[in-house]
């Protein structure tokens, strides 16, 4: 099964009602029949489609691996964007229709909706992830002040959530980030303490269009601007982001998801970037469904 076969463009998704078989002459037979029928109903109701994000994202590669690991031969992974995925989720959730999406935390959707990760007994998505800050080689020598701030940067899921939710509610990213910076001077001081200001030095931050990375990159842009930097933010997909750091066309990124999500890029560009440290631990990726759906594991998607 190839990636080209399993990842398709955004298309119409047929959403039919879910049904469970409820007959059988023994409890064991009834349980088995219900499980098989439930898997079939979920697949048929979704036209065997998993709603994904941009095709270059590591979570898409992990989902392709899950499709293979769990022998979900009938299922396709639909590529799109983070915004398109959350729009599809909202439409399905508001109508209490089934949907399976590629999901990650931290993300505001878990605050907005009652969602759950599908269990992953085969470990296709790995364990807990971390968000790392990465920089181009030579950054410390060229911009020691920025290098130190970026190395010091870390915050909590709640911190990030405040910015993400404000943006989701209609605030411009830079306005939401500025509000968080203004409300958390002690946290910002922990990143910038003892660091001298610069005079208009240019720095470019690359990031992917995930809500989490939009939040962190806008916050860091404000912090670096306050230190005297002329900051440019470059929004790209995951592959070009890592490429930009490796070839020096961008200076740093706060969007490195490791050890699994961006493992392919980290290995490809090994030695061509510097890992500046972990900004958040305990993050996660996987397949996510509304809590009202009567499935608990990726295995439940297999007929």
pLDDT of amino acid 302: 87
CATH 3.40.50.970 correct for 129-283: no
* Burial of 201 per CB tally in 10 Å (0-12, 13-18, 19+): middle
Contact 216, 255 (CB under 8 A): yes
pLDDT of amino acid 66: 97
Average pLDDT (225-250) is 97
* Burial of 235 per CB tally in 10 Å (0-12, 13-18, 19+): middle
Looking at the predicted structure, is the pLDDT value of residue 248 above 50? yes
CATH number for the domain formed by residue range(s) 3-127+286-301: 3.40.190.100
Contact 160, 219 (CB under 8 A): no
| Phi, psi (deg, nearest 5) at residue 9 | -75, 165
Average pLDDT (49-55) is 94
Looking at the predicted structure, is the pLDDT value of residue 100 above 50? yes
Higher per-residue pLDDT: 83 or 41: 83
In the block, residue with structure tokens 């990636």: 3
pTM over 0.85: no
Domain ranges of the chain: 3-127+286-301, 129-283
């Amino acid at each position: 099964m190839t990636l080209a076969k399993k990842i398709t463009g955004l298309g119409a998704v047929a959403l039919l009602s879910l049904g469970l078989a409820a007959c059988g002459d023994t409890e064991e037979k009834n349980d088995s029949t219900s499980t098989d029928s439930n898997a079939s109903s979920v697949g048929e109701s979704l036209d065997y489609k998993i709603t994904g994000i941009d095709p270059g994202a590591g979570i898409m590669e992990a989902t392709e691996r899950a499709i293979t690991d769990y022998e979900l031969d009938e299922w396709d992974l639909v590529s799109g964007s983070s915004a398109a995925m959350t729009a599809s989720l909202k439409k399905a959730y508001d109508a209490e229709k089934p949907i399976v999406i590629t999901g990650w935390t931290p993300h505001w959707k878990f605050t907005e909706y009652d969602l759950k990760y599908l269990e992953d007994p085969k470990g296709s998505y790995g364990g807990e992830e971390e968000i790392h800050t990465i920089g181009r080689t030579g950054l410390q020598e060229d911009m020691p002040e920025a290098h130190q701030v970026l190395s010091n940067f870390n915050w909590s899921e709640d911190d990030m959530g405040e910015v993400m939710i404000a943006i989701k509610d209609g605030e411009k990213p830079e306005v939401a980030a500025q509000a968080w910076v203004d409300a958390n001077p002690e946290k910002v001081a922990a990143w910038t303490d003892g660091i001298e200001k610069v005079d208009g030095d240019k720095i470019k931050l690359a990031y992917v269009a995930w809500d989490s990375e939009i939040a962190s990159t806008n916050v860091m842009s404000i912090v670096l601007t306050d230190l005297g930097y002329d900051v440019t933010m470059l929004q790209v997909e995951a592959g070009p982001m890592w490429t930009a750091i490796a070839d020096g066309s961008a200076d740093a990124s706060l969007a490195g998801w490791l050890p699994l999500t961006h493992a392919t890029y980290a290995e490809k560009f090994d030695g061509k970037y510097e890992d500046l440290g972990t900004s958040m631990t305990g993050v996660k990726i996987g397949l996510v469904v509304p809590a009202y759906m009567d499935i608990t594991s990726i295995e439940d998607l297999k007929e």
